[in-house]
Amino acid sequence: MTPPSQPRPSQLLQPQRDPVPAREASTILLLRDGADGFEVLMTRRADQGIFANAYVFPGGGLEDQDADPANHALARMRPSMVEVGGDERITQALAGIRETFEELGILLAYDETGQPVPPAQVQQLDRHASLYEQCRKRGWTLAVDQLWYLANWTAPFDLPKRFNVPFFVARMPEGQTPVADETEQFEPTWIRPQDAVERFQEKKLFILFPTLRTLERISVLPDTQALINTLQGEKPLWQACPRGGHLQGKDTRHAETDMAYGELEMVLPDGHGIHHLDWQNEKAVPLRKNLMRLTAPNPGMMSGPGTNTYLVGDASSGYIVIDPGPNEPVHLQRIHVATGGDIRFIVCTHSHPDHSPGAAPLQALVEHSGQGKPPVMGMASAPTARANSRFKPDVSLSDGERITLTGQGPDGEVTHTLQAIFTPGHAANHLCFLLEEDALLFSGDHILNGSTTVISPPDGNMIDYLASLDKLHALCLERSIRYILPAHGYVLGFARHQITKLKAHRLARESKVHNAMRTKPDGSIQEWVAIAYADTPPALWPVAQQSLLAHVERIQKLCLGR
């Protein structure tokens, strides 16, 4: 993997460095079934080196011999493996088989009759001599067809020594016993994935991040065949290149499925540097040279760590404040300090009480300090808005309208352009904003990180919400948008994927709502929620009722439309 491209490198917080090239390697998870579920074979690495004393799966670096066509001829494989992975997949699989043999004396191979090589014959091989030559001499073939591609891990960009490693799974050959080479590997151990994770959490087992995450993900499956069944497409279930952050006083690693990953990728694209992930309200967090985030001190079930106020611009251009948040004087004063009071525009994504009430007081604070009167901009609340969500801006923004700041950079004039995107659904007056030069999408409450947006009729509308998701997906494709900056939670990466996943989740929930309506056609809203949201804690059901009503409204309109 390579660092993602950046629309405007001049706005990155620090100069970028090329990562150390990753060395190619391969590893195999050997599995066996037991009475209490399947187990995986792990061994302890030597007590020196970068993986000292870590419990790992057998494997190691690719060698020239693994790519030799003459040795490829020794591989028995599924045709689909070649169709999907080509020669590279064969090379990786052979390297995993070879390393497993050299480290543990375990061999995945067939004899000259096409049957698994008997354990007694495997023991006669020399683990220090060429495996390929020994197999060729005996007429054996290597059981590449017994390997299934599970995942691909690439080491973080900031490491001085990096590997790119496919993780394969295979059944343990019958009758063979692992014997460590006592040089690189020690103490072969069969362990259930969930037990390995628990021992890691108890600090009784040292496991590297990719190994731990792999164990966590496969631990939910009941047996070896269930895992193999998920791998029939010959493509990895996931590909990961972890990124480093700093959380609760410790250096941490985060994979693509973690909530903080997108932010780490955006702020530190080359992986170098430190980005603190602890939520705090005292200081603005730099995300780019022209972008800061200041989180309001209003954490809660609906607001997560608090409402994110985004400050777009720089000292030469002045600032646009996106979502000043609630009328919280301490927070507004912090916005004023972070911007040096040079606020040119105040914009609100929508009129809910954790987003817009701070606009007028912030405007007054700036005006009182003698730095002008920045207009409050947005879209007026609709008549359907609740009493605590009424909002009337000084300047009404329409779909596609732009707000522009101009300043001076080292190479001349620098422009920051914010475009309004009308996205009703969560609220009738909801706007998202696109920072055009950097392809960054500020999503307000339309897309969140860590929770699902509540759609509360009558001001919320599920038909509009899903249509707005489609609109944002098309915009991300058109403008190559990779990052979404929500009003609550960390920056999201993989923008189009996030939107696709969110829409699929909403439609899946709607299917459950429709099923509840069919199951209990005369049921109450509370009864429908209990069925449709059975997978969520009952404490959340009162809030879920609002979105359920929005789904019911959409279902009824779709049915009438037929």
pLDDT of 90 above 80: yes
Q: In angstroms, rounded to a whole number, what is the distance separating the alpha carbons of residues 344 and 394?
A: 13
pLDDT of 506 above 50: yes
pLDDT of 2 above 50: no
Predicted pLDDT at 409: 83
pLDDT in tens, 243-265: 999 999 999 999 999 999 999 99
pLDDT of 6 above 80: no
Local structure of 5: helix, strand or coil: coil
pLDDT in tens, 22-76: 999 999 999 999 988 999 999 998 887 767 889 999 999 999 999 999 999 999 9
What pTM does this model have?
Answer: 0.91
Across 171-189, average pLDDT: 92
Own/partner pairs, 410-418, CB within 8 angstroms, 24+ separation? 410/10, 411/10, 414/10, 414/290, 414/314, 414/316, 414/317, 416/290, 416/312, 416/313, 416/314, 416/317, 416/320, 418/312, 418/320, 418/322, 418/347
Q: In angstroms, rounded to a whole number, what is the distance separating the alpha carbons of residues 109 and 168?
A: 16
pLDDT in tens, 198-254: 999 999 999 999 999 999 999 999 999 999 999 999 999 999 999 999 999 999 999
Lowest-pLDDT range of 75-89, 416-430, 485-499: 75-89
Across 319-336, average pLDDT: 98
pLDDT of 472 above 70: yes
Distance from chain centroid for Cα 396 = 35
pLDDT in tens, 479-490: 999 999 999 999
C-alpha distance across the termini of the chain, in Å: 48
CA dihedral (509, 513, 515, 517) in degrees, to 10, reads: 180
